[in-house]
Structure 1
Amino acid sequence: MVSLSLLIASLQVVSLAVARSPTGGYAPGKVDCPSGNLVREAKDLSSDEQAWIKERNKVTNENLATFLSQSGLSNFDAANFVSNTKNGRALKVGIAFSGGGYRAMFNGAGQLAALDNRTTGAHEHGLGGLLQSATYLTGLSGGSWLVGSIVLNNYTSVQNVLSGNILIWDVEHSIVNYGGWNPKKAINYYKDLHNAVQAKKDAGFELSITDTWGRALSHQFFPPANDYSASLCWSDIQTLDAFVNHQMPFPLVVADGRTPGSQIISGNSTVFEIGPYELGSWDPSLKSFTNVKYLGSKVSNGEPSGSDACVAGFDQAGFIMGTSSSLFNQFVLQINTTSLSTALKDLISSLLNDVSHDEDDIAIYKPNPFKYAEAASVQSIVNNDTLYLVDGGEDLQNVPLYPLIQKQRGLDVIFAYDNSADTNQSWPNGASLVATYQRQFLEQGQGTIFPHVPDVNTFRNLNLTARPTFFGCDAKNLTSLLSNTTSANSSYLVFDAPLIVYTANRPFTYWTNTSTFKLSYEDSERNGIIKNGFEVASRLNMTVDSDWRSCVACAIIRREQERQGVEQSDQCKRCFQKYCWDGTIDASEPKVNFTTEGTTNGNEDNGNRTVSAAASIMSYGLKYAIMQLLGTSFLVVMACTFNAI
């Protein structure tokens, strides 16, 4: 078994990229406008992304050939297969990490470590090299914290973080009580947050709670130097050596569009993606993208408007990560569980009525870059002076798969890591995949194909959450879904729908079903969850299934085999028989427990970890509904207390 020490060996630390906010701090500032429009219609990938992916393909082709050749496939010439694809199409792998707070972040960290050749032991005991072979990497909410903090710290590794070579992910004290028992430190912390966001307000920009939330997160996700990267921008990813040299996957984080007073469901949500170059949506309600570097600029019909129209620095890194995770702004529900002083708790509680009906979970992007966007079909977005974005999981698509199933990206396989808390015991039940599957039949989801998946009870009863499961194993079975594509995607073939490798959080050596609302972790807890995440992705370090790496390789090559009409080997057929969902349905009341073999058992009392009251009584979806109704935010309250402090 791989010990935690294999995850924490020393690696050389590197410095952060030079920050690009023109003010040198959190506030955005004026810059010269670039030539051309800032907004475009979402007909294809941007020219920047296309050019970058073309170069990344050269890197992933080499890495995939190595990964596949070392996967144990019998009588398989990996280099020849990768270099002789149909129509010269590169094999493309996507990796997606779900939301779920620090639980999702740390579980995802262990899973990411198992895919990363930079982790000691990942090749021998995991799927080391899969990260190096991936074209895209997506995160949502807690998953966006993982993606953002890894990528923006110069594409560091999980092992490098745990070694202490880079001072991030210290969550012993929550962002509610960051100073611990030191009141002076706590007050200085709150003042620092206030001063940063006040600078943005003084620069003429409207604030939202996500400004404070993002700055708070930055204290845990960036080193102390340079005021916890106050001037670091999301678009600075473009300057990272690993990005410039195409040595990392293309990162994307996900948020949802929601105007004040509305509630999100999968059918009416507009799914936004935020990448190194652009922010926008493929959905017909918007169908537009804008240059992420110039968010905050005055735009009319996609063009800069006015002599001093352009702004840079609005896409501050913490603000973008906070936008994807704004559910946590509702954390005042947990205020009495913290070690804050009684006086401060009373002060917060006295202000709750003042904020309980505000739309404080919304991130404000003003001016709205998409105002008057011609491609949009929903006027509530393009006629508004402000663009409102919220936590990417509010439409129940808690695994950020939507950017990866766009035909324009042409993925062959997606590795979906689900660390949600769908059940009363805070384990996943496949609800996110169900939401993405169902969305393709709605107007907002037209133009995409997502493989058939069962109901959430079947996920649990057939052990589809207790072990990895493949969906969409045979492209010919997806033919009936083609009718959901739009005429613009009339060339869509079933081979264009990626195969999904779904892996849900489960316990091997640590109970990792902590509450979504748990904000502080001792190092031993954090490391235990990360270690278990490694074991989830590696099938307990290959001890549950020594052929797991081979089966992953079979999933990667499946779509290209189908395009070429190549029959699977007997080895891959055995893998698919083991891991593919065969269409069976069992919607009866499910069991909840796990065994080390990766299955459930019938003992309702064995394997249930006691969790917090909030997690015990509410499913993840119900939490969202209740939180939206309450509409409260501890950070709004904190912002209101700064002057009092």
Structure 2
Amino acid sequence: MHTAIALAALVAVAQAIPHGPSSPQSDLAKRDPQQDTELIERSDDLPDVITKSESFLVGGNTDYRPYTVPCPQNITWIRSAIGGVSQNESDYLAKRKPTIDKAVQNMMSKSGLSTPPRTPVIALALSGGGYRAMINGLGMTQGLMEESLESTNAGTGGWLDAVSYMGGLSGGSWATGSFIANGGMLPTDLVQNVLDLDSNLIFPDDGKTSFYYNMLSNVRAKAGEGFPTAITDYWALALGNHLLPKQWRLDTSPNITFSALLNNIPQLQNAQLPVPIIIAAEREPGEKNLPSNSTVWELTLWEYGSWAVGQNNNKTIGFFTPIEYIGTNMTGGKPTDMNKCYKGFDQLSFVMGTSSTLFNAALLTLAQVETNSSFVDWIKDILSDISQANNDVAEYVNFAADYTQLANPLSNLKYLTMVDAGETNQNIPIEPFIVSGRRVDTIVAFDNSADTRYSWPNGSSLWVTYNRALKFQQDFGITIKMPKVPSTDGFVSLGLNQRPVFFGCNSTDTPMVIYIPNYPWTWYSNSSTMQLEYDTPSALKQMESSIRSFTLNGTVPEWPKCLACAMSDRAFAYTAANRSQECQACFNTWCWNGTDVDTAVANDYEPVMGVTPTWLAQNGLSNNVQTSGVSFESASASALSAAKPLIGGASIAAAIAAATFGGIMTVLH
């Protein structure tokens, strides 16, 4: 697709999305034709703006493009996943170990618990879901930070220093990438001082010509080096322009690579931050709907690869390659030309963009909608053109082309086609942490998915991952250590999607999973996946509410101790037979009890802001402390009425629906 047309399509779709935090819920079949006309008119000038910037495209910023270097001689170009993690990853964690040990000792001591005999390996997994997932995931992360006074007062601040890994998918990858690139800055400070959330991600209020001019020049420069480019490249540059430090934006130098973060971020040089991992899924040729057993690829500071590769019905042990050189043409496990290796393909913005290629998902969702709206038909045509041109993906040079030293079902592919891993319905990036090679003890799973009608999570991501693990073991003999979880109906019926839950409590061969769902403690934090701008006060309110999803707003006195028990349990090699009395009491309360419900439940789960989750109230765990001016009393008419001004005066039902695109995007992520 011509670059200007591709960018125009991206912007046109973005312009169709209502802006602001309280887009009303609506039915596509009931759209106002006048609204369609107005939206089309708003977008009529977009190709002209972009073409204008293209017409004087001479020189311009081209720092995004990969560049050639002589190939290094002493390097392992492909290594088998059988060997576990890379030596570089092991060395980084060894350097981080003193920080982790100190934090674990401190947090256990605060709860009156003994320190485990070995260092626990803890991972954060941040779900997808656009800006909603990024804001909420960062807020939940702040719930673990000692620098946060609220988190420290709640008894949970300090655990982040004990975390080894931080993994993100789609919007969660934006949170991970931005957090690491900004040196682990307190997320509320990020919102106020770095993140450009109040300017539309694709259609900024000011400087449109310069914005698109720099996009076009950078993408053209990449294409000029012979690399396939797609709408993902524009998406990626837009993300970087809003989320990365200012020295790496379009009007400066958008050239920070994932691998180069180690040399540019002091907190990484000192191993003061978790290892960041961003994941994507592979889409096979001709495939539209991704099955749950699609290949999941991960990108770290050192490597790009997968623990299990191959077609959906032919998986084998995977392999990895140095991420610094992933744009290099490879043949038989070595560079095709030792004088021409590429660096710069692993742009952090492109990695984040790869993990969030939303447009294929948008097409799949929209194709199922029946409506007489000419506007919706217009958007359908745009998305269909993008998909037919294979322009809705990110193509990576296949480093395993013609490689035969290991079983390699990818040998005949020139490119590996990457898309948003959330399209596999595994919207929480659990997989990097349940492979045996990392030996993770505890996974803190932040679920900010929009699974229900009103964009709240229902646990379906964990259920899909659990069934994927069973299939991999049964069909391919590949072990993925995922603890058992209930079905989606069980999650909702048992209220497990309203509060923290521990999974795998009595398992000896899987990690412990601490599930943290999005809940409206003090703000309706279920904004649409496709909302592309937030005013700063609203973003802060949403983030603060998400902090409280992790801290439980300081209203549950036993939560810090029980959290400490779950964080450290595997490092003690505990089971129900030898666990301390205090921790066993915690597990009796917070662990899933193994029951499930197979009766279908309604999809209209609709929590009310400021009302204590039912399970906490029923079990007498919350002391109903009033904080931040929000009363945690009951869902009375007066409480509902008082909540309305916080969301712009719209009705609560309409606001929490947060429907965009005329209501069609509420099922995305």
SS at 1:470 equivalent: strand
**Separation in 2, partners of 1:331, 1:248:** 34
Q: Distance in 2 between matches of 1:199 and 1:301?
A: 28
Contact 1:260 1:359 in 2 (8 A): no
Counterparts of 1:263 and 1:351 in 2: how far apart (Å)?
16
Unaligned runs of 5+ in 1: 1-22, 336-343, 476-493, 625-645
Is 1:396–1:435's contact at 8 Å kept on the other side of the alignment? yes
CA deviations over 1:144-171 (Å, ceiling 9, x no partner) = 000001111233331431442xx3x222
Matched with 2:227 is 205
Q: How does 1:308-327 map to 2 (within 5 A)?
A: 308-327=339-358
Q: Deviation of residue 354 (structure 1)?
A: 4.0
Amino acid at match of 1:255: A
Q: 2:612 aligns with which of 580, 597, 601?
A: 597
Going from structure 1 to structure 2, the CA distance change for 1:194 and 1:376 (only over 3 Å counts) comes to farther
Alignment equivalent of 2:303, drawn from 278, 281, 302: 278
1:25 Cα deviation from its structure 2 partner: 0.9
Aligned-partner SS, 1:556: helix
Which amino acid is the alignment partner of residue 578 of structure 2? E
SS, match of residue 174 in structure 1: coil
1:201-231 per-residue CA deviation (whole Å, 9 max, x = no partner) reads: 1222221221111001111012443544411
Residues in 2 aligned to 1:258 and 1:45: alpha-carbon distance in whole angstroms? 25
> Which residue identity lines up with residue 572 of structure 1 in the other structure?
C
Cα distance in 2, alignment partners of residues 565 and 546 from structure 1? 23
The residue aligned with 2:321 is 290
CA deviations over 1:269-298 (Å, ceiling 9, x no partner): 001110000010001436011110001112
Aligned mates of 1:400, 1:603 — CA distance in 2: 34
How far the C-alpha of 1:417 sits from its partner, in A, is 0.4
SS in 1 for 2:437: helix
1:451 and 2:483 matched: yes
CA distance in 2: counterparts of 1:30 and 1:389, whole angstroms: 23
Equivalent position to 1:567, from 553, 562, 578: 578
- The equivalent residue for 1:33 is 71
- Give the match's secondary structure for 1:584: coil
Aligned residues: 552
Select which of 514, 518, 535 maps to 1:501.
514
Of 595-604 and 297-306, more deviation after overlay is shown by 595-604
The answer as to 2:102 corresponding to 1:77 is no
Q: Distance in 2 between matches of 1:454 and 1:593?
A: 20
Distance 1:144 1:375, change over 3 A: farther
In structure 1, what residue type is equivalent to 2:657? V
Alignment CA distance shift 1:442-1:324 (3 Å): same
Identity %: 31
Specify whether residues 334 and 565 from structure 1 end up closer, same or farther in structure 2 by C-alpha distance, changes over 3 A only.
closer
Rate the CA distance shift 1:415–1:422 in 2: closer, same or farther, 3 A. same
Matches of 1:374 and 1:47, distance apart in 2:
24
Letter of the 2:93 counterpart: I
SS in structure 2 of the partner of residue 538 of structure 1? helix
User: For the Cα contact (< 8 Å) 1:329–1:360, is it kept in 2?
Assistant: no
Match of 1:554 among 538, 550, 565: 565
What amino acid does structure 2 have at the position aligned with 1:583? G
In the alignment, does 2:284 pair up with 1:244?
Answer: no
1:59 corresponds in structure 2 to: 99
Q: Give the partner amino acid of 1:146.
A: A
Q: Output the TM-score relative to the length of structure 2.
A: 0.77
Name the aligned partner's letter for residue 449 of structure 1: K
Which residue number corresponds to residue 371 of structure 1?
A: 401
Tell whether 2:539 aligns with 1:526: yes
Given that 2:101 and 2:162 are in contact with CA atoms closer than 8 Å, whether structure 1 keeps it comes out as yes
**C-alpha spacing 1:26/1:346, structure 2 compared with 1 (3 Å):** farther
Give, in whole Å, the separation in 2 of the partners of 1:393 and 1:435. Answer: 11
Could you tell me which residue of structure 2 aligns to residue 425 of structure 1? 454
Matched, 1:195 2:217: yes
Instruction: Please give the TM-score of this superposition, normalised by the length of structure 1.
Output: 0.80
Q: Counterparts of 1:11-50 in structure 2 under 5 Å? A: 25-34=63-72, 35-43=74-82, 44-50=84-90
The one-letter amino acid of 1:220's match is: H
Bigger shift: 500-509 or 303-312? 303-312
How far residue 308 of structure 1 moved from its aligned partner, in angstroms, is: 2.4
- How do 1:599-618 residues align onto structure 2 when only pairs under 5 Å count? 599=614, 608=653, 609-614=655-660
Q: 2:128 is paired with a residue of what secondary structure?
A: coil
Q: Name the CA shift for 1:238/1:223 in 2 (closer, same or farther; >3 Å).
A: closer
Q: CA deviation at 1:268?
A: 3.6
Deviations 1:391-442 (A, max 9, x none): 0211111100100111121111111000000111100000110011001121
- What is the alpha-carbon distance in structure 1 between the residues aligned to residue 203 and residue 176 of structure 2? 25
**For 1:393 and 1:458, how far apart are their aligned partners in 2?**
21
Q: How do 1:131-146 residues align onto structure 2 when only pairs under 5 Å count?
A: 131-146=160-175
CA distance in structure 1 between the partners assigned to 2:246 and 2:360 by the alignment: 23
